[in-house]
Amino acid sequence: MGDPVRFDLRGPAAWVTIDREERRNALSAEVIDGLLEGLRRAAMEHDAAVVVLTGSGERAFCAGGDIAGFAADTAESAPALIGRLLDALWHHPKPTLARVNGRALGGGFGLMMACDLAVAADGVEVAMPEITLGLWPHLITAVVQRTVPRRLALELMYTGRRVAADEALRWGLVNRVVPRDELDGAVEELAGAIAGKSPAIVRHGKRSFTGAEELGFAAAIQHLKERLAENFEEEDLAEGVSAFLQKRPPEWKGR
């Protein structure tokens, strides 16, 4: 049996793929370890400007936690493992993009929402169906509260109903919905658009944005002032201004 998570460099993006199509790309302890390693590796890859997270096949992006996939001696640590994974995605130093190739359910919905951006194939469904099992989606609440309108979040948690791709787009759960045969092209286009910007400023920007949303207003303003001061020190700011004034494409230094 091969590794349950694949890592590939495709142009400016590092692709991290859950490769358990037969289990609808469900999360086991081994899968989470593979995802964490893929995210660490993506952070270190100089040529990767964006991280793409996806699942294999067409049925599922990720069907959530695989209870049978957590051995008895690791079952107790399952919440800790999932928490580490959500944190690694949310605070990853590079932009993260969910390629939603199929259903994103439960923990899979959480992974999708923990990514910065999402592109979905038409026909997919997303949901938090835990309530139908007598469970509440406790851990993913941390990312859902920060990305989903409150009333929609509670409706989906209370009812477990599935949301079609077009509705997910209307609510801002995903950035784009495209025909399935155009999914990779749309993902690569968005990744390329980000990769064309200064990696240093993108890195500063994500740190600034993520840090501010975790603070109260006054503390957020102070945090943003500090990040702006750091931004002013970057060589790419001077290059961007010079390129604009000279009406030429910028030549980013990445610093």
Task: Report pLDDT digits (tens) over 158-191.
Answer: 999 999 999 999 999 999 999 999 999 999 999 9
> Does the pLDDT value for residue 156 go beyond 60?
yes
> Does the pLDDT value for residue 8 go beyond 90?
yes
The pTM score is 0.91
Beta-carbon count within 10 A of 61 CB: 30
Backbone φ and ψ for 152, nearest 5 degrees, come out as: -70, -45
Residues 6+ apart with CB under 8 A from 62: 18, 24, 25, 26, 27, 55, 104, 105, 107, 108, 111, 112
Closest CA to 120 of 69, 176, 161, 167: 176
Q: When comparing pLDDT for 226 and 152, which is higher?
A: 152
- pLDDT computed for residue 74 by the predictor: 52
Tell me the per-residue pLDDT of 27-45, one tens digit each, with 9 for 90 and over.
999 999 999 999 999 999 9
Average pLDDT, the chain: 91
* Token pair recorded at residue 190: 């968005």
If phi > 0 it is left, if psi is from -120 to 50 it is alpha, else beta; for residue 110 that is alpha
- pLDDT computed for residue 39 by the predictor: 98
Burial of 157 (0-12, 13-18, 19+ CB in 10 A): buried
Query: What pairing do the DSSP bridges indicate for beta strands 50-55 and 60-62?
Result: unpaired
Q: Indicate the range of 51-60, 216-225, 237-246 predicted with least confidence.
A: 237-246
Strand-pair partners of 53: 16, 98
**How much is the average pLDDT of 123-132?**
95
Q: Cα–Cα distance between 105 and 63 in angstroms, integer?
A: 5
Q: Cα–Cα distance between 153 and 147 in angstroms, integer?
A: 9
Which residue type sits at 110? G
- pLDDT computed for residue 66 by the predictor: 79
234 pLDDT band, cuts 50/70/90, is: confident
What is the separation, in whole angstroms, between the first and last Cα of the chain? 42
Q: Indicate the range of 70-84, 214-228, 233-247 predicted with least confidence.
A: 70-84
CA distances from 49 to 15, 22, 40, 207, 208 (A): 11, 31, 14, 15, 17
> Does the pLDDT value for residue 58 go beyond 50?
yes
